[in-house]
Amino acid sequence: MSAAAIIAAILLPPLGVFLMRGMGRDFWIAMALTFLFYLPGVAFALFIVLGGSTDRLAERISRIRRPAKA
C-alpha cells in the first residue's frame, strides 16, 4: 500500500486498482463501477488498495457454476 495508490484510488479509481493489481478482473470492476457512478468506484478501489481481496468471492462463484460430480 502506497500513498500514491491511495490518492489515485480517490481521484481516479481504476488507476489506483491498476497500481496495486495490474489490468485484471479487479481493474475492470473498478472501471465499470466508476462509469456507473463515481462513489462506488472509489469505495471499491479503496477496498482493493487497502488490502481487500475478491478471490474468495470468485472461488464461491466458481463452485456454484461447477456441476456436481456423479
As for how many domains the chain has, the answer is 1
Residue-wise pLDDT tens digits, 15-53: 999 998 899 988 999 999 999 999 999 999 998 888 877
Quick one: pLDDT at residue 62? 74
Helical ranges in the chain per DSSP H: 3-11, 13-21, 25-36, 38-49, 55-65
Nearest in space to 30 (alpha carbons), one of 50, 16, 20, 19: 16
Quick one: pLDDT at residue 70? 57
> For residue 70, is it within any domain?
no
On the question of pLDDT at 68 being above 70, the answer is no
Quick one: pLDDT at residue 67? 64
* Structural domain that includes position 21: 3-65
Q: What is the mean pLDDT of residues 61-67?
A: 69
> For residue 25, is it within any domain?
yes
